[in-house]
Amino acid sequence: MSDENLLEVRDLKVHFGGKKMFRKAAVVHAVDGVSFSVPKGKTLGIVGESGSGKTTTALAVLRLVPITAGEVRIDNLEISSLEKEDLRKARRHFQMVFQDPYSSLDPRQRVGDIVREPLDLMEIGDPSERDQMVRDLFVQVGLRPELTKLFPHQFSGGQRQRVGLARALATRPQLIVCDEPVSALDVAVQAQILNLMRRLQEDMGLTYLFISHDLGVVQHLCDHVAVMYLGQIVEQADRISLFKNPQHPYTKALLAAVPKARVREDETREERVPLIGDPPSPINLPEGCRFAGRCPVAMDKCHKIPPALKDQGGGHLASCHLLDN
Amino acid sequence: MSALLSIKDLVVDFRTRAGNARVLNEVSLDLKEGEILGIVGESGCGKSMTALSVMGLIPSPPGKVTSGSIQLDGEELLTAPRSRMRQVRGGIVSMIFQEPMTSLNPVFRVGDQIAEAVLLHEDISKADAWARAVEMLTKVGIPEPAVRAKAYPHELSGGMRQRVMIAMALSCRPRVLIADEPTTALDVTVQAQIFDLLKDLQEETGTAIIMITHDMGAIAELADRVAVMYAGHIIESGETRDILSNPQHPYTRGLISCVPHLDENPTEERPYLNEIRGVVPSLTELGQGCAFAPRCPYKTPVCENTQPKMEKVAGIHSVACHNVEYVVAV
């Protein structure tokens, strides 16, 4: 274990189901053997389609879903084995920002109280100082401190996401897990929140685990990127290497599918090889490579033997049989 | 070629507790036969309201079409009787919505839902309508269409449901298809499939498409022409490539530059994103001047007092801005 990594995840598995009252039920392999680490002060982006397990990975890191197997360490503290009170106390070091700023704030609580609640629960500072701390947090996320008395419905989507950020920052965490924090926002507001997140990271040395399906946003914000498909990481590299030189056919297809908001000189629209079909179900997993069924370059071998995630040079990891040659 | 659908000076008001909200303010748009027109803007800019006006679906009250005209092939739709609008909706102009799950009825088989649309508009037998449903499902690329026609919406994936919506919308061979954020709820890979499908169908059937979106990428991908909306106004319009490569209105410029575009050749350098300062104004509190003025970095006194009119800059490229020469020069 390196000292520089704030978050280390080893062979994480999250399986759902398996039991129904009196009979066996299908097992959903939501996350199936995922390993990654995030250095202090950096951002790891996890991308993938819906159902790839990216959100479940985020929730498992925060112990918000039961971990089936594997290990999660935050700042060298093993989170995955902590019990009740120890886990509750440790939570001040890792917080979350949610996708939907409308449903992630209690509509009947004043926003100031929403931000103050973590301070009360974690007993941070003197109770008399906490109101001032809340006002400071408001300023930090770009909200006027007089707004603490208002209710969430009096805010716009962007302002609510700022409140969500202030709440996450209240306990001075080291790690913030962001699950699609800007995908519910309009593009102009999205730019404001992304810039705010970057500023906060620079000022406070925050580490982000950033879940998103928007590759443009991930490229902008993240230092490292992991691509997930059906519960596994199929490719992982630093930002430049991944976008410049994608190795896995799935990553290539994902990148090709993003519409480019630019006009080419020759005025033609790019013809791309579309990825056919939807991802298979995480219940009946294919025997070989999980992507083989949709892969444009699949070979016989791919349907039989699952490829391993290997270093393709310079720490750029990818799992594909084609890369072995 | 004359316009197939022509919207002129359309004004739509909503009465709210906070006062009158003018959600569409003198909106004029032309849609030609067989073209794809994109309408872009943020939430609340009026892009969906424009679509609903064409369909005659503005909820009234509180909404009200105050003035203007909408002509479909020379026929005025705003004054058309209800019975005629029922023929138009789904028959001549049809619409697909953002969320395919909530727009399909969960308790009917998808084949029956498509057949129902056909039966409403055409005098054919139930068996023929079912056959048409299966044919449409084939056309939108659903594997095993005869089997899938008997499926319920929950048995299909998001992409499949959106294909069903497209099949339903096209089942009566409409002349205009309005697609309101058709891919927002879908994954990028599925979005790409739906774009390709819309393009192919458009070429094959010649249906004109109005594509409503907040995504400039989707516009670049599909649209021939674009109209940019802000606070109920069209503030810039023109050919897609002109708008994307040479935007003139400060808002359009902001909208294009604030999105982190995917770069095939990224560098170490990562500048902060351009921000459009402030927030979209409340429609009940719009003043006399340009709606964008409070957020505009180039505003001058005239912007606060007088609403700019759409003026031609080149070809069909028009923009509503008092200081357009200055904006483009900096």
* Closest listed residue to residue B321, CA positions, set B263, B223, B247: B247
- Residue A271 pLDDT more than 60? no
Is it true that the peptide bond before B61 is cis, omega within 30 degrees of 0?
yes
Q: B95-138: per-residue pLDDT in tens?
A: 998 877 788 999 999 999 999 999 999 899 999 999 999 999 99
Percent of chain B with pLDDT over 90: 53
Mean pLDDT of chain A: 89
Gap between the Cα atoms of B148 and B141, Å rounded: 11
Chain A residues close to B217, C-beta within 8 Å = 258-261
Residues 6+ apart with CB under 8 A from A269: B221
User: Other C-beta atoms within 10 Å of A81: how many?
Assistant: 11
Confidence of residue A275 (pLDDT cuts 50, 70, 90): confident
* Closest in B189, B259, B263 to A49, CB measured: B189
What is the pLDDT at residue A273? 63
What is the pLDDT at residue B111? 94
Residues of chain B numbered 160-189 and touching chain A (CB < 8 Å): 160, 187-189
- Is the model more confident about A318 or about A287? A318
Question: Chain A residues contacting B, CB < 8 Å?
Answer: 49-50, 156-158, 186-192, 194-195, 198, 213, 215-217, 219-221, 239-240, 243-244, 253-263, 267, 269, 272, 274-276, 278
**Run of H or E including B318:** strand B317-319
- Residue A143 pLDDT more than 80? yes
In this structure, of A24-38, A138-152, A178-192, B184-198, the range with the lowest mean pLDDT score is B184-198
Per-residue b or e along B222-249, where b marks 16 or more CB atoms closer than 10 Å to that residue's CB: bbbbbbbbbbbbbbbbbbbebbbeebbb
**C-beta of residue B55 within 8 angstroms of C-beta of residue B178:** yes
Q: State the DSSP string of B99-129.
A: -HHHHS-TTS-HHHHHHHHHHHHS---HHHH
Give ∠ CA B252-B257-B259 in degrees, rounded to 5.
Answer: 110
- Residue A276 pLDDT more than 80? no
- Kindly tell me the sign of the dihedral angle through the C-alpha atoms of A27, A30, A36, A41: negative
Q: B157-215: per-residue pLDDT in tens?
A: 888 888 899 999 988 889 999 999 888 877 888 888 888 888 888 988 889 999 999 88
A308 SS3 class:
coil
What is the pLDDT at residue A1? 44
Structure tokens belonging to residue A157: 């989507």
**C-beta of residue A40 within 8 angstroms of C-beta of residue A217:** no
Residues of chain B numbered 23-42 and touching chain A (CB < 8 Å): 42
**C-beta of residue A144 within 8 angstroms of C-beta of residue A159:** no
Domains along the sequence of chain A with CATH: 5-324 (3.40.50.300)
Gap between the Cα atoms of B146 and B133, Å rounded: 9
Gap between the Cα atoms of B215 and B59, Å rounded: 26
ipTM here: 0.83
Q: How far from each other are the two terminal CA atoms of chain B, in whole angstroms?
A: 37
Per-residue b or e along A286-301, where b marks 16 or more CB atoms closer than 10 Å to that residue's CB: eebbbbbbbbeebeee
- Residue A3 pLDDT more than 80? no
What is the pLDDT at residue B144? 87
Q: What is the average per-residue pLDDT within B57-67?
A: 89
User: Other C-beta atoms within 10 Å of B48: how many?
Assistant: 19
CB contact under 8 A, A260 and B42: no
Q: What is the average per-residue pLDDT within A204-212?
A: 94
Q: B282-294: per-residue pLDDT in tens?
A: 888 888 899 999 9
Number of H helices, E strands in chain A: 9, 12
- Residue A253 pLDDT more than 60? yes
Q: How far from each other are the two terminal CA atoms of chain A, in whole angstroms?
A: 31
The model's pTM:
0.87
Residues of chain B numbered 111-150 and touching chain A (CB < 8 Å): none
What is the pLDDT at residue B329? 82
Beta bridge partners of A44: A209, A224
CB contact under 8 A, B244 and A49: no
Gap between the Cα atoms of A200 and A213, Å rounded: 22
Gap between the Cα atoms of A66 and A313, Å rounded: 35
Chain A CB within 8 Å of residue B258 CB: yes
